[in-house]
Amino acid sequence: MKVLLVGAGGREHALAWAITASPLCTSLICAPGNAGIAGIADCVPIKAEDIDGLVALAKESAVDFVVIGPETPLVAGLVDRLEEAGIRAFGPSAAASALEGSKGFMKDFCAHHTIPTAAYGRFTDAAAAHDFITEKGAPIVVKTDGLAAGKGVIIAESEAQAHEAVEAMMADKQFGEAGAEIVIEEFLSGEEASFFALVDGKNALALTSAQDHKRVGEGDTGLNTGGMGAYSPAPVVTPEIEAQVMETIILPTVRGMAADGHPFRGVLFAGLMIEDGVATLLEFNIRFGDPECQPLMKRLKSDLLTVLIAAHDGVLDHIDLRWSDEAALCVVMAAKGYPGAYKKGSEIKGLNDANEVEGVDVFHAGTKQDGNKVLASGGRVLGVTALGADVIQAKARAYEAVDKIDWPQGFCRRDIGWRVTGE
């Protein structure tokens, strides 16, 4: 089977690593890919946002199955276009992708289907948004309605900070058109976790949990990022919590989307806040998380490609997943300055030495090949991912590998997994 994988990040490298391990995969094309993916797939320089180019590539290459990693092409309708062309594709339709593409849509959907989530308001008028903040007080959360690469969420500790966030999004257009409409919601306390399920339109198959580290600084301080590291499983997601999430969040969503005429097929990623043994939905994403995907793929023992095809074909009720009992942890190495301005083009050395650490795979994100050199080409650049008997061992192995990488222009948090390891 010839497979096309769309995307260029660490998530896509992890997916490529898992897909190429499947006996069903005879060849893998990736568009656009990165320096790491190029070692196991044929990379084609077509951007993930180039819908026409990707459809043409799939046709010309006689691709049998397409796996779409990032959210932007899903929201833009890539799956719809591929299916119209007779090419099977894993991921939700444009209509179903609104669960991530519009935070307002997602909040209204949850309210209509009685799915537990924070109280909220939707605003296209800045003055009304400011009034809402004054009425509700702080802490409070301000979000762009549209996609903002994981950075369009401001957790405001004060009313002044919340008002500033409204101005940045709506007046200054810091996030472009994504901030033309905003969602303001109550602040929920507790412990965050990520929960993933595969959905085939009518059936949902629980995957596993993970815990991301969104803030750029150690101790969960500083600006929000696309994610600075993750581990799986997350101890806070107990079997009881998993059962509750499936019963009150995942399955009602699957039923609700089908009833509303937009059946969901793909990965349903629930961002959760857990407090006192109860999980509340923070947001939905409609794809594997990045960096959560990296530890998930390290722990998955089942054939990923077979599972994705089953989700597309509507037969997930015949699938039984196997996971390693071990834990996995990913440390993201980013370019200095991220999530603000950063420089591209610095050389990264020591990758082979890092990959030789027991249990470690270094997944590339923002990298490109320049002859024999690997250069940084993005903000989040590497995902150093390790498997271990527990989170403590996985963390030790990951940081041992990090320390073998020679890249003065990069940085990482040194406390990934701190909720489990205590440091």
Beta bridge partners of residue 99, listed in sequence order: none
The answer to whether residues 270 and 216 belong to one domain is yes
Is residue 201 a part of any domain in this protein?
yes
CA 413/CA 415 separation, integer angstroms: 6
The CB density around residue 313, as the number of other CB atoms within 10 Å, is 13
Contact between residue 396 and residue 414 where contact means Cβ atoms under 8 Å apart: no
How far lies 343's CA from each of 36, 59, 334, 367, 376, in Å?
A: 20, 37, 11, 13, 9
Statement to judge: residues 365 and 312 lie in one domain: no
The answer to the question of residue 338 being in a domain is: yes
Q: Verify that 64 and 153 share a domain, yes or no.
A: no
pLDDT by 10s per residue, the chain, length 423: 999 999 999 999 999 999 999 999 999 999 999 999 999 999 999 999 999 999 999 999 999 999 999 999 999 999 999 999 999 999 999 999 999 999 999 999 999 999 999 999 999 999 999 999 999 999 999 999 998 876 788 899 999 999 999 999 999 998 999 999 999 999 999 999 999 999 999 999 999 999 999 999 999 999 888 899 999 999 999 999 999 999 999 999 999 999 999 999 999 999 999 999 999 999 999 999 999 999 999 999 999 999 999 999 999 999 999 999 999 999 999 999 999 999 999 999 999 999 999 999 999 999 999 999 999 999 999 999 999 999 999 999 999 999 999 999 999 999 999 989 887
The answer to whether position 110 is within a domain reads no
- The residue out of 180, 207, 227 marking a domain boundary is 180
- CA–CA distance, 198 with 128 (Å, rounded to integer): 38
Looking up residue 158, the CATH number of its domain turns out to be: 3.30.1490.20
Judgement on whether residues 22 and 87 belong to the same structural domain of the protein? yes
The tokens for 144 are 């762009």
CA 104/CA 121 separation, integer angstroms: 8
Q: Is residue 237 part of a domain?
A: yes
The SS3 of residue 223 is strand
DSSP state of 9: S
297 with 363, same domain: the answer is no
Paired tokens of 418: 């701190």
Q: Does 195 lie in the same domain as 173?
A: no
Q: Say which CATH number the domain at 224 has.
A: 3.30.470.20
CB neighbours of residue 421 within 10 Å:
17
Quote the CA–CA distance of 334 and 115 in Å, as a whole number: 36
Tokens in use for 153? 């969420």
Q: What is the CATH number of the domain that holds 34?
A: 3.40.50.20
Number of folded domains that form the chain: 4
Q: How many CA atoms lie within 13 A of 105 on its CB side?
A: 19
Query: Which residues span the domain enclosing 23?
Result: 2-93
Region of 234 on the Ramachandran plot (φ > 0 left; ψ -120 to 50 alpha; else beta): beta
Angle formed by the axes of helices 251-259 and 103-112, to 10°?
Answer: 100
Whether 160 and 233 share a structural domain: no
The pTM of this model reads 0.94
Q: Does the residue 116 lie in any domain?
A: no
Does 344 share its domain with 272? no
The whole-angstrom separation of Cα 262 and Cα 257 is 5
- 160 plus 197 within the same structural domain: no
**DSSP-based helix, strand, coil % in the chain, nearest 5:** 35, 30, 35
Same domain, 309 and 331: no
Which residues are registered as beta bridge partners of 376? 367
* φ, ψ for residue 53, nearest 5 deg: -65, -40
DSSP states of 307-340 = HHHHHHHT-GGG----B-SSEEEEEEEEETTTTS
Reference 287, options 300, 276, 296; nearest CA is 296
Which residue is listed with tokens 């990707």? Answer: 54
Place of tokens 């799915």: 115
Q: What is the pLDDT of residue 224?
A: 83
What is the pLDDT, as a whole number, of residue 151?
75
Omega within 30 of 0 (cis) for the link into 92? no
User: Final residue of a domain: which of 269, 288, 318?
Assistant: 318
362 and 408 assigned to the same domain: yes
- 102 belongs to a structural domain: no
Same domain, residue pair 340 and 382: yes
Specify the 3-state DSSP secondary structure of 71. Answer: helix
Is 104 inside any structural domain? no
User: Exposed e or buried b for every residue in 55-93, given b needs 16+ CB within 10 A?
Assistant: bebbeeeebbbbbbbbbbbbbbebbbbbeeeebbbbbbb
344 located within any domain = yes
- Would you give the DSSP letter of residue 378? S
Examine the fold and report which residue of 257, 291, 318 is the final residue of a domain before the chain moves on.
318
Cα separation, 58 vs 81, in Å, equals 11
Please list the residues that pair with 43 across neighbouring strands.
Answer: 30
